[in-house]
Structure 1
Amino acid sequence: MELFDYAFFRNALWGSLFAGIACGMIGTYVVSRRLVFISGGITHASFGGLGIGFYFGLNPILSAMGFSVLSAFGIEWLSTKQGVREDSAIAVFWSLGMAIGIILTFLSPGYAPNLSEYLFGNILTITKTDIWALLTLSVLLAMFFLTHYQAIVSVSFDIEFAKTRRISTRFIEYTMMFFIAVTIVLSIRLVGIVLLMSLITVPQMTANVFTVKYSHIIYLSSAFSFVGCIVGLFLSYYLNVPSGAFIIFVLILMFFIAKAIKSIDKKSKKRTRNPSTGD
């Protein structure tokens, strides 16, 4: 309990809570819309924004956010307006971001920046500014989902059907791409660029084991994200291992446990329905 006396640990808890809420909402859209590869591309493209921030002396998180948003819009624009295959468009911005990041980081004047907390994450480095940013993002996401819930669900599962219902699919797509980019950048400190894609996919997969309802997946995945972050944080502290990697390890372990529980439950119900008869 003495851990709670430290401000950095309390910041990590609050950051985990609000990041879990944001990733729960965004991740549900990403998984249901099958945008996992796009989110991976945006995540790695954000490295270009970090390089720009280091080179020009800007806040690296803000520069990464701007670069990620532009990359997200660029992927959407190339794939829908320019006839470029979506996977090819993702590869372009993925490679461009990584190349710019590596070049500008190497050319940055002064001491070489510490990239480990951005690449692999360090939840204990979360500041109060990061917490307020994640809180603001969570509130904005909640408001957008509440006011456009049916449209988001329709676009997530069948965009052609959504168009027949005269839903502004372009508005939903671009707005959600914006939120995906912002969520990714603000969550970098938790698990890092290398592992961040798992934070917005694995909890949703775990939630989907127990339910198929869109809103329930949001609630459950947010809870799983928060629990995974907390358990991973405590275990990484006591075992003295990187927190980002351990958080993802815990989330994946939770997924396999959920699959095992569901499998046992199915077998139990099957035996109940079809009891074996003896002589």
Structure 2
Amino acid sequence: MWEALQYEFMRNALAAGILVSVVCGVIGTLVVVNRIVFISGGIAHAAYGGIGLAFYAGIPPTLGAALFSMAVAMIMGAVSFRNRHRADTIIGVLWAVGMAVGIILIDLTPGYRVDLMSYLFGSILAVPLGDLWFMLPMDLLICLTVFAFYKEFIAMSFDEEFAFVVGIPVKILYFTLLGMIALAVVMIIRVVGLILVIALLTIPPYIAEKYTHTLGKMMVLSSFLGIAFTVVGLWLSYQYDLTSGATIILVAGTAFFLSAFSDRIKKGTSGAKD
């Protein structure tokens, strides 16, 4: 790995992976404990509509994805907050329509054909220095927001009715969380792509939840796990000439199954003792 770091693109890739891992640890924890993985997936895939709109309008793809993701997140939030029984259907429709709009707009963009694979499966090795300067303030904004309203997020995540009773603005917090998910998704797309966003958002928190007892510790451990998966995935992709985003997710997936397998062994052992 040290040999690979002599190249600027590998240093940029490692920095991008660390920044994304931190935001995934923080936001992914809130996604898991609030059980809004499906909404997060809808936001992530609908973001492709923003990418298509950006190429068609001639604006930066990151800006287009951020604005479109934010708009879709607010729509999904309104739907899920008012009518949770039907929210999954509408989210599924927005998920599909967002991707379809992106593909059609790219088809209609004259004289240019974007590489779909780089957005669907990520292109961490092609992250320029400019994107890192975009990711850093996004990381700080998300982390500072969660830190500032940490107690309120705990109340909303674990006892929503209590949060309402004591006067916590649950609706505003919920929409704030969805907005932060939209910003996080734009960052993650550069690393692992639209298709694999959910894995990086959910696998580290899922594993961390088993070894922690507070939301803060879960966020910290999730971030470190994400960094570990990213570093190992980058090293394997460099050593064996593999697609980096997919390799990172396979490393995370392997850790997920090992964690689940160890749980079964522990349960089997404790059952045998009883």
TM-score of the superposed pair, with normalisation by structure 2: 0.93
Gaps of 5+ in 1: none
1:93 maps onto 2:98 in alignment: no
Gaps of 5+ in 2: none
- Maintained 8 Å contact 1:24/1:221: yes
Amino acid at match of 2:204: P
The answer for the alignment partner of 2:237 in structure 1 is 236
Q: Distance in 2 between matches of 1:167 and 1:230?
A: 39
Deviation at 1:176, TM superposition (A): 0.8
Deviation string 1:229-253 (CA, Å, 9 cap, x unpaired) is 1111110111111111111110011
Deviation at 1:79, TM superposition (A): 3.2
Secondary structure of the residue aligned to 2:41 is helix
Deviation at 1:155, TM superposition (A): 0.9
Aligned residues: 273
1:187 maps onto 2:188 in alignment: yes
1:79 maps onto 2:86 in alignment: no
Deviation at 1:264, TM superposition (A): 4.8
Amino acid at match of 1:88: T
The answer for the alignment partner of 1:127 in structure 2 is 128
Amino acid at match of 1:187: I
Secondary structure of the residue aligned to 2:110 is coil
- Maintained 8 Å contact 1:48/1:102: yes
- Maintained 8 Å contact 1:122/1:189: yes
Q: Distance in 2 between matches of 1:26 and 1:235?
A: 26
- Maintained 8 Å contact 1:24/1:225: yes
**Matching of residues 39-188 of structure 1 within 5 Å:** 39-81=40-82, 85-188=86-189
Amino acid at match of 1:75: M
The answer for the alignment partner of 2:255 in structure 1 is 254
Pick closer, same or farther for the CA change 1:5–1:83 going to 2, 3 Å: closer
Deviation string 1:80-106 (CA, Å, 9 cap, x unpaired) is 347882112212321221121111011
Q: Distance in 1 between matches of 2:80 and 2:21?
A: 30
Deviation at 1:116, TM superposition (A): 1.1
Deviation at 1:175, TM superposition (A): 0.9
Q: Distance in 2 between matches of 1:91 and 1:268?
A: 41
Secondary structure of the residue aligned to 1:210 is coil
Pick closer, same or farther for the CA change 1:154–1:83 going to 2, 3 Å: closer
TM-score of the superposed pair, with normalisation by structure 1: 0.92
Q: Distance in 1 between matches of 2:45 and 2:71?
A: 13
- Maintained 8 Å contact 1:122/1:244: yes
- Maintained 8 Å contact 2:4/2:238: no
- Maintained 8 Å contact 1:45/1:96: yes
Deviation at 1:256, TM superposition (A): 2.1
- Maintained 8 Å contact 1:12/1:126: yes
Q: Distance in 1 between matches of 2:85 and 2:54?
A: 30
Deviation at 1:259, TM superposition (A): 3.2
Q: Distance in 2 between matches of 1:22 and 1:189?
A: 13
Pick closer, same or farther for the CA change 1:83–1:31 going to 2, 3 Å: closer
RMSD in angstroms over aligned alpha carbons? 1.9
Deviation at 1:260, TM superposition (A): 3.7
The answer for the alignment partner of 1:25 in structure 2 is 26
Q: Distance in 2 between matches of 1:141 and 1:11?
A: 21
The answer for the alignment partner of 1:200 in structure 2 is 201
- Maintained 8 Å contact 1:47/1:64: yes
Q: Based on CA coordinates, which of the two structures has the bigger radius of gyration?
A: 1
- Maintained 8 Å contact 1:75/1:90: yes
Query: Sequence identity, in percent?
Result: 38
